[in-house]
Amino acid sequence: MLGLRRGTIALCAHEKGWEEEATRTIGRLKAILGDIVKDIAHVGSTAIPAIKAKPIVDIALAVDSFQDILAREEELRANGFYYRPASRERIPTQLLFACGSYYEGTGDLQTHFIHVVLTGSADWVNYINFRDYLNHTRAAAREYEALKMALAEAAPNDGGRETYLRGKQAFIASTLRKALAWSYLGKTATAEFDRPRGSISQDRPDFVYPVNCGFIPGTESDGYGPLEVYLLGMGMPISVYTGKIIGIVRHKKDADDRLVMAPEGVVFTQNEIAEQVDFGEGPRADMEALEQKSCGAVIFRRDKEGVRLLCLYQRRSGTYSIPKGHMEAFESEQEAARREIFEETGLSLSLLPGFRETVDYAIDGGMHKTVVFFLAEYAGEVHVGQDEIASFRWLDLHDAREVLPAWYHGLIEKLGTMFA
């Protein structure tokens, strides 16, 4: 389905055809405008496969000058792209072109919106960041979908579009702020440090900053100040520094996440970051880090047919795993493994001495994960009832290898040698 009657709200499950239509539309615009197009992309909810969307394709088109586009208005109109000058009253920093039978005078459908923005502008950055952040962050995407569905249900069929748009504004503003911070992850940035290591807090004369704290100039947005930054791995006070953003401190109660910077080549995992920013964030701060570390344990039992491993079916990912999870600040690897075992299975187990194996693999977004596995034996009953775990199976090594993701295979081979 493509197109929606003007003034109405309807949300549809994602369709592959929207992506195909966006690709065709981008090709048409490039053919019409040529070098005027400096960048162009499919944006909006139809570019986020995980959520429902209005069946209208949104395209962001970046140009160096609005006059370049307006000079081609007649040609655009001849190809079905109609300029909507009244839209500048609501968003003066953009031009809007629209497609559909409503604009052609032959019906009442809107099918495409072309949002023309200036090259490198905040508008362009926001369109791309919002799309990419929701595609990366499933929880945020689900929250956005739930909000849109509630607003669509509450909005009247006629004249409900403005109510629907206003209802999304607060979520979009806070998400754009989080998306801005996320967009820096893995990139190099320059920050100014107004609270250098060893300086005394103006608000607390008894407090000395243990790390360099500062901000990235020019990142103010919609009532927010500049993005704040912790600089780790630098043992001296710094006023200005260019380094790599290796992590983000996620704030659940507000949108003002903080960045974590380190010198190029210096590695800190999420638990190590949490320990160093504990003075400002607390030990259970929610971290997103390029280098992630998890701990867990292979839980096995013996029966007359041999050794069997406890494999858990993860509700969210729809895959099997061995009990494991992120290591938290100020806990040892063994403590993290025992905690994860208890959280996922309800079991309080001792870890067998002499076994410690690590598995390393790449994950989405240029991140890297190290998982440390220990070993525990258990012969009793298992009762999983946690939100994360849907079910479990005791599997021999061969069957475990078949159901577990490929990065487990080296671990299974080592267990096979050990239990042979």
Q: pLDDT for 53-71, tens place per residue?
A: 999 999 999 999 999 999 9
pLDDT value, residue 159: 55
Instruction: Supply 158's token pair.
Output: 């006629």
Interval 337-364 mean pLDDT:
93
Helix 122-136 × helix 138-154 angle, to 10° = 100
Instruction: Supply 228's token pair.
Output: 């704040």
CB-facing half-sphere around the CA of 182: CA atoms within 13 A: 26
Q: Which of 10-14, 148-152, 294-298 has the highest mean pLDDT?
A: 294-298
CA dist 198 and 247 (Å) reads 22
- Residue 283 clears pLDDT 90, i.e. is over it: no
Instruction: Fill in the DSSP letter of residue 211.
Output: S
Instruction: Fill in the DSSP letter of residue 411.
Output: H
CA dist 399 and 377 (Å) reads 19
Helix (H, G, I), strand (E, B) or coil at 331: coil
CATH topology of domain 4-183: Beta Polymerase; domain 2 (3.30.460)
pLDDT value, residue 156: 61
- 286 pairs with which residues across the strands? 250
Interval 12-39 mean pLDDT:
96
Interval 81-103 mean pLDDT:
93
Split at pLDDT 50, 70, 90, the class of 386 is low
With contact defined as beta carbons under 8 Å apart, do 91 and 145 qualify? no
Interval 84-100 mean pLDDT:
93
Interval 10-38 mean pLDDT:
96
With contact defined as beta carbons under 8 Å apart, do 369 and 292 qualify? yes
Interval 228-239 mean pLDDT:
96
Q: What does the domain layout of the chain look like in residue ranges?
A: 4-183, 188-289, 291-419
- Model confidence over 184-228: pLDDT tens digits? 999 999 999 999 999 998 888 889 999 999 999 999 987 889 999
Record the pTM: 0.87
Mean pLDDT of the chain: 92
Q: What does the chain come to in residues? A: 420
For the chain, count helices (H), then strands (E).
12, 20
- Residue 248 clears pLDDT 90, i.e. is over it: yes
Interval 16-30 mean pLDDT:
97
pLDDT value, residue 385: 65
- Model confidence over 308-342: pLDDT tens digits? 999 999 887 789 999 999 999 999 999 999 999 99
CB atoms under 10 Å from CB of 192, counted, come to 14
Instruction: Fill in the DSSP letter of residue 86.
Output: G
CA dist 411 and 163 (Å) reads 55
Q: Which residue has the higher pLDDT, 5 or 19?
A: 19
Pairing, β 367-377 against β 291-303: parallel
Nearest CA to 131 among 228, 33, 53, 227? 53
Split at pLDDT 50, 70, 90, the class of 305 is confident
Split at pLDDT 50, 70, 90, the class of 151 is confident
Instruction: Supply 38's token pair.
Output: 């400096």
With contact defined as beta carbons under 8 Å apart, do 278 and 329 qualify? yes
pLDDT value, residue 382: 83
pLDDT value, residue 256: 86
For the domain bounded by 188-289, which CATH number is listed?
3.90.80.10
- Which amino acid type is present at position 268? F
Instruction: Supply 52's token pair.
Output: 């429902």
pLDDT value, residue 387: 73
- Residue 158 clears pLDDT 70, i.e. is over it: no
Q: Do domains 4-183 and 188-289 have the same CATH topology?
A: no
- Which amino acid type is present at position 373? F
Query: Lowest mean pLDDT: which of 111-120, 260-269, 357-366?
Result: 357-366
CATH topology of domain 291-419: Nucleoside Triphosphate Pyrophosphohydrolase (3.90.79)
CA dist 302 and 204 (Å) reads 59
pLDDT value, residue 200: 94
CA dist 228 and 118 (Å) reads 27
Interval 244-263 mean pLDDT:
91
Residue labelled with tokens 């210096």: 266
- Residue 251 clears pLDDT 60, i.e. is over it: yes
Instruction: Fill in the DSSP letter of residue 35.
Output: G
